[in-house]
Amino acid sequence: MPKGINKLNQYCLKAFQEYGLPYNPDYNGESQIGVSPVQSTVGNQRRCSAADAYLRPHLASGRVTLLTDKTVTRILIENKRAVGVELHGTTPELILAGEVILSAGAIQSPKILMHSGVGPAEQLLQHGLPVIVDSPEVGENLQDHPIVPVRAYVKGDLGYQMAAQGLGSMKAGLRYLVTKDGPASGNGIETVSYWNPSDFTADPTIQCYHVPIISADGLSPTGDRSGITFELVVLQPKSRGWIRLADGDPTSMPLINPNFIGEEEDLKAAVASVRAIREVMRQESLAPVIEDEIEPGPQAQTDAEIGEWVKRVATTMWHPVGTCRMGADERAVVDARLRVRGVEGLRVIDASIMPNITSGNTNAPTQALARHASAMLVDDVLHRSTGRAPGSPQPAIVPPAQTLPA
């Protein structure tokens, strides 16, 4: 949690409760419903990434080799078995392996599979690529959390508009170095809420970040006038997009169609959330400091007007999943043990295997997925060395992640 909460976010905590949403001290607990201080992966008042927790502690062991500034162009497949990978370069470099694990994420994993000959046959042939396995759902089922920003100016110097740029940024940095608190001690988002616009007792359909700045891109402060941005996130989108190859060049970026707000249900959820946030801004604790609504602005009043604005501004929450779907059916890209159908010795272990997106941030679920997959890998090694059937009751022992002191 952030070390101290700025006044503007304190007003948000109170305003949501005045509107009827309960205070929730732990949205990663039994219930998500409520308004809460933000939780982050932090240790010693520094960001703790998956690399900090799982990778770096093991690099010194000599059992892990980390190659940086390398780009995998394709997986080497011989007789429908993965035998290594090819790295991009003037002279392609080959790395041979007994088993290949693809963890390039929901955008790059399907792209690499397709350039390796695993994907929709029609698409591969169109770009002059060999068809090793016709897997029509590679690149399909793309899901993300669309995000819609409601912005308003606030009175005075509330929030972090000044602290996040120029001299204010320098002061915040020095304060952090000395006291490990203040604006630079967190990610700038100190409170969050989860709710259903039509029923505060029902499972949340909206996540809302209360960002104490005005920003054109949702990240960097814009201008010198203080403000707040309510980042509204549709948690259970029905819309589905896709990843396709642009051409046969493995260094080209893929074509991405996120299809945000492509379904009417997603549009209705977003419009309802905008109306709810306007009510929150009218509550006793927040109304005195709100000046002008910037977006969607006073010109958007009807559902149709708000809806047109939503469709125009909806963008990514950086939570893409689903493009190498796991499933028991034959069309699924990977099976329940994350093995690519049709290719021996090849697994996909990343957010692309999720059949459906989670109702919240995808960072922790992806790490949990990888942790479970590591147990599967150990289980398979034990099977090969002892003859024990994979998945039998004997548990596989997985070394714990490094635990950083609070």
**Backbone CA torsion sign across 317, 323, 327, 329:** positive
DSSP assignment, residue 160? Answer: T
The whole-angstrom separation of Cα 384 and Cα 369 is 23
Strand 290-295 with 227-234, pairing: unpaired
Are 214 and 229 contacting, i.e. CB atoms less than 8 angstroms apart? yes
| Alpha-carbon distances of 214 from 156, 187, 342, rounded to whole Å | 14, 15, 50
Distance between CA atoms of residues 5 and 12, nearest Å: 11
Given a contact cutoff of 8 angstroms between Cβ atoms, the answer to whether 100 and 75 are in contact is: yes
Among the listed residues 88, 319, 372, 383, the single catalytic one is 319
Contacts of 259 (CB under 8 A, 6+ apart): 142, 239, 240, 241, 242
CA atoms of 353 and 324, how far apart (whole Å): 5
Rg (CA), the chain: 24
Task: Tell me if residue 396 falls in helix, strand or coil.
Answer: coil
SS3 content of the chain, % helix, strand, coil (to 5): 30, 20, 50
Count of C-beta atoms within a 10 Å radius of residue 210? 26
383 is catalytic: no
Which are the catalytic amino acids? 319
